[in-house]
Structure 1
């Protein structure tokens, strides 16, 4: 199996797919409830964090070799240069994943470890089926 490189990735059409250790990972189709939660959360955070920017569906480059690019549901960045295709982990203050069918293990285990390894301090997981509880993890 040929691994996806950053050049390969840059030539692909824009979508929500990800790359994990050089392997293309197809993103699941998101239901309307999930999309609505992501949109509202990004907007709510963006309005309340004057020195930061909350964005939905932005590429996060975790490693170039082997290539690992994630597209968190929401990320909060301190970067002032938003005219870029992807964000660097050093500019990320918070990553949020909204759980969906098929991504629970990846969101709870794999991404938690990946984000911790690159120094992202805050990682929230939103479970729309358990809204009475709040669960925030710090890698």
Structure 2
């Protein structure tokens, strides 16, 4: 058996912490921290996923109001042991070239585009963790025969959990976190 590369060995007995991600330059792109464990994409990314994320980024950038920015593939430091990387997020912070993560209070919306290898994390683990961190809006986008289907959730502040706010096919119109209108059919070829 081959020894693990040094960067894969946790720096302490308790495992990994959120700040450790900034000191792992050898780690694969898209490395996340979930419950103190490193999670990185090992399977090749599907073209559908990448294309959808790109088109959605452009569509949202055309609609965001002043003071809101679209971030792509940036981690959110939920707590000391969790730093997931949503496909997209909307933040109220201005662009800062050296930023490597966002705090939950600076994020209005997180978007996960479900891949076969991330399905469980996107549908359950991240759904609960983003809500517990207080992020007001969560979209989980599924592939339904090549077409995007957006499952929209809003944070119910009294319970600290997400409440379903709709399932959208073909088009999406939402008044929060700002007025958003999307032609979902136009996001994929």
* Aligned counterparts of 2:39 and 2:52: Cα–Cα separation in 1: 23
Highest RCO, 1 vs 2 (Cα 8 Å, sep ≥ 6) = 1
Question: TM-score scaled by structure 1?
Answer: 0.89
1:11 aligns with 2:27: no
The aligned residue for residue 110 of structure 1 is: 125
The aligned residue for residue 30 of structure 1 is: 45
The aligned residue for residue 80 of structure 1 is: 94
* Aligned counterparts of 1:30 and 1:132: Cα–Cα separation in 2: 16
CA separation of 1:108/1:61 partners in 2, compared to 1, >3 Å: closer, same or farther?
same
* Aligned counterparts of 2:38 and 2:105: Cα–Cα separation in 1: 24
* Aligned counterparts of 2:33 and 2:74: Cα–Cα separation in 1: 13
* Among 67, 75, 90, the residue aligned to 2:105: 90
* Aligned counterparts of 2:20 and 2:132: Cα–Cα separation in 1: 24
* Aligned counterparts of 1:125 and 1:19: Cα–Cα separation in 2: 19
Which of these two proteins has the greater Rg computed from alpha carbons?
Answer: 2
CA RMSD of aligned residues (A): 1.8
- Tell me which protein shows more helix as a share of its residues: 1
Farther-moved stretch of structure 1 (7-16 vs 97-106): 7-16
* Among 74, 79, 104, the residue aligned to 1:63: 79
What is the deviation of 1:27? 2.1
Q: How many residues align?
A: 137
